[in-house]
A and B are shown apart, each in its own frame.
Chain A
Amino acid sequence: MKTGDITRIVIHLSVMTLLSLVGCGGKSFDYHSGNEIPEGPGVFSGQDGEFTIYDSKTGWLGEKSEKAEGAGSQAAEKTGTAEAAGAAGKS
């Protein structure tokens, strides 16, 4: 094995050795490359940073919106009914 080969192997092993020595007392974190889609929020996707097209708990994206609108309408109707009943009671 040539001297140059040995030198290169030593350099690479040194990197791992340094990491091993320093890393033994460390708390691991998930390294994320700066060349990938960044972690964290997106301009349109919000805090999640991604659009959930389907979720087994809430269904499809469209269904989720419709359910949310439906729940909002029902809540508004109940509020309106309650207010009308209250007004009738007062009068």
Chain B
Amino acid sequence: MRKWYFRSGLAVVFIFAAFLALLTPVQAFDVKFSGQVNQMLMFADNGFNTEFFVADNDNSGTRFRFTGNEKFDTVTVGYRIEFGAQRNASNLLDIGGNDDGIFQFNDRWLDAYFQGGWGKFSIGKGDGAANGTSEVDLSGTAVITYACVNDTAGSFTWTFKDGSKLLRPDPMNPTGPSLETDVADTRSDFDGLSRNERIRYDTPKFAGFDFATSITNGKAWEIAGRYAGAIGGHKLAGAVGYVDTNDRDALGQTDYRQLGSSISWLTPLGLNVTASFGYRKYFGQLKQARLAVGGSSDSQNYYLKVGWKGGIHAASVEAGRTDDLDLKGDKSTNLGVAYVVTPWGGVDFYGAIRSYTLDQIGPDPENISQIMAGTRIKF
């Protein structure tokens, strides 16, 4: 198997290098710089205490990027280098956090690509093939609410009325101390493997459809299909993605297979509907570890958003639920409303209210509520 991988990889590299060597460069080369700042206020209540935050909105965090490409005869060669620069990111907030949090400088994209009529090859860090397949959204409010709730609530700890935290055993260390359970432990939209060091192939687009596959370290692989088309003033977009983590984590913490899909429909009147569904099934050491502490061998997520978008305005209401992500019997839900206005090109103002609930076997923790408002400025 190893020899097959190695020989196949070498063959691809040599064939492509020979192909490029035969091409004559055409002088059409540019280098561009762009980015955005996204900051918000958040007021949160975990049922025992409240907190006020000024934070970077991790739904679409502060970032900058360099892109460039050169066109050869029939091939465009390009790159995308993108960094996230966030202070006090919203996915790390929790009640009790009363300082400016940490500063994170993340490599988001370090990607080289080759694109032609035959499709696109990408290599380096960037979106895996299935990234975004559970998060297709035409509502116009995704900057503040979308299928992934963890970007703005993931680190909020489930808390009881007396202030005690929800503690649960660690499947990877069942005899060790129990760990505090947060929203991200109980919610996921099962959306691919995010950005990773991968080689990826995208087919050309035909009739609005395109397909992609990628493989990353640990031989984890993804495959996805996407559609985006407009008919009679209606816009429809959707995607389906499959993930097999294979050996990605040597500790066995990512041994699962996952299927995610989403679809979003925007009508000419501005009414829109977005739905997302995801399913994950655990295998091997991770499955056994989960079952040993009362976890489930599989988990699923449902998400629905209904909205209206017109002119510079967009508004939506949402509901989402993840079952059995942490322990069997968990039903972790959220409700939310959002509003976004884009008065000038490159400037969004947004606001949202969200409430999170966890139903578990045993006493339920208090609900977590958030009120958020902020701005995203593209520079």
Chain A residues packing against B (C-beta within 8 Å): 4-5, 8-9, 11-12, 15-16, 18-20, 22-31, 33-38, 40-45, 47-57
Q: A4's closest neighbor in chain B, by CB? A: B298
The B109-137 residues at the A interface (CB cut-off 8 A) are 132, 135-137
Within 8 Å by CB of B229, from A29, A44, A55, lies A29
CA distance A34 to B264 in the complex (A): 13
Question: What are the residues of chain B within 8 A of A9 when measuring CB–CB?
Answer: 259
Q: A56's closest neighbor in chain B, by CB? A: B29
Question: What are the residues of chain B within 8 A of A5 when measuring CB–CB?
Answer: 281
Q: A25's closest neighbor in chain B, by CB? A: B231
CA distance A11 to B344 in the complex (A): 40
CA distance A38 to B346 in the complex (A): 7
Report whether B32 and A40 are in contact in the complex, using a CB–CB cutoff of 8 Å: no
Interface centre among B205, B229, B262 (most CB of A within 10 A): B229
CB distance from A64 to the nearest CB of B (A): 12
The total of interchain contacts (Cβ-Cβ below 8 angstroms) comes to: 159
Within 8 Å by CB of A31, from B63, B228, B279, lies B228
CA distance A51 to B236 in the complex (A): 32
CA distance A44 to B35 in the complex (A): 10
Question: What are the residues of chain A within 8 A of B349 when measuring CB–CB?
Answer: none
Report whether B34 and A23 are in contact in the complex, using a CB–CB cutoff of 8 Å: no
| Contacts A12-B277, A23-B209, A43-B378 known; 15 new A-B pairs at CB < 8 A | A12-B259, A15-B261, A16-B240, A26-B208, A27-B231, A28-B228, A31-B136, A31-B226, A31-B228, A35-B146, A40-B345, A42-B345, A43-B377, A53-B31, A53-B66
Report whether A22 and B240 are in contact in the complex, using a CB–CB cutoff of 8 Å: no
Question: What are the residues of chain B within 8 A of A25 when measuring CB–CB?
Answer: 231
CB distance from A79 to the nearest CB of B (A): 33
Instruction: Give how many B residues have a beta carbon under 8 Å from the other chain's beta carbons.
Output: 63
The B324-379 residues at the A interface (CB cut-off 8 A) are 344-348, 376-379
CA distance A40 to B268 in the complex (A): 21
Report whether A28 and B137 are in contact in the complex, using a CB–CB cutoff of 8 Å: no
Report whether B207 and A24 are in contact in the complex, using a CB–CB cutoff of 8 Å: yes
Report whether B32 and A53 are in contact in the complex, using a CB–CB cutoff of 8 Å: yes
Q: With A38-B36, A44-B379, A53-B31 in contact, do A23 and B240 touch (Cβ < 8 Å)?
A: no
Report whether A33 and B379 are in contact in the complex, using a CB–CB cutoff of 8 Å: no
Report whether B230 and A29 are in contact in the complex, using a CB–CB cutoff of 8 Å: yes
- Whether B248 sits at the interface, judged by CB under 8 Å, is no
A-B contact pairs, 28 of them (CB 8 A): A11-B277, A12-B240, A20-B227, A22-B231, A23-B207, A23-B208, A25-B231, A26-B207, A26-B236, A27-B208, A29-B235, A34-B137, A34-B142, A35-B135, A35-B146, A37-B36, A38-B348, A38-B378, A41-B378, A42-B346, A42-B378, A43-B379, A52-B30, A52-B31, A54-B68, A56-B27, A56-B70, A57-B28
- Whether B59 sits at the interface, judged by CB under 8 Å, is yes
The B13-62 residues at the A interface (CB cut-off 8 A) are 27-36, 59-60
Q: With A19-B263, A42-B345 in contact, do A27 and B35 touch (Cβ < 8 Å)?
A: no
- Whether B65 sits at the interface, judged by CB under 8 Å, is yes
Q: With A26-B231, A40-B345, A42-B345 in contact, do A15 and B378 touch (Cβ < 8 Å)?
A: no
Within 8 Å by CB of A34, from B29, B31, B35, B143, lies B143
